[in-house]
Amino acid sequence: MLESEVIAMRTGSEPATARSPLRLRLWLSLWGTFWALFGLLAFSLTGRPGWAVACAVLLALTVLDLCVVTYRMRQGAHYQPGRDVPPYEPDRGGRPQWRRPDPGDGTKPP
């Protein structure tokens, strides 16, 4: 086994050590909102409607991303199972067999 393969192997501690990129996306959205608003105002005042429309679309996208990021940040941390919770059983293949429901009158389904 190569050393690069050992480094890339999954250790199982990823959820405990993972860092959320939401704070970075928040700052990038704010930065983009500022520059898109500046471009919209500048191009509107200089009489360049095509560029102003492009900046308006970019402004709408950055504000939408800002709303999504703040919504997700307000949700807080999601539940992560601890080390004492076993992993899910792997799929053994095949589709589960569908069974008819019991009719409830004491007879067995066919």
Span 100-109, pLDDT tens digits: 666 666 666 5
Nearest-angstrom CA–CA distance, 110 and 99:
10
Nearest-angstrom CA–CA distance, 29 and 31:
5
On whether the CB atoms of residues 39 and 50 are closer than 8 A, the answer is no
Span 5-45, pLDDT tens digits: 444 455 555 555 666 788 999 999 999 999 999 999 999 99
On whether the CB atoms of residues 23 and 72 are closer than 8 A, the answer is no
Nearest Cα to Cα of residue 59 among 27, 26, 25, 36: 36
User: Residue for token digits 């501690």?
Assistant: 13
pLDDT of residue 84: 73
The band of 1, judged by pLDDT with boundaries at 50, 70 and 90, is: very low
State if pTM tops 0.85: no
Q: Would you state the structure tokens that stand for residue 71, as one six-digit string?
A: 């919504």
User: Residue for token digits 């919504």?
Assistant: 71
pLDDT of residue 66: 95
More confident residue, 51 or 93: 51
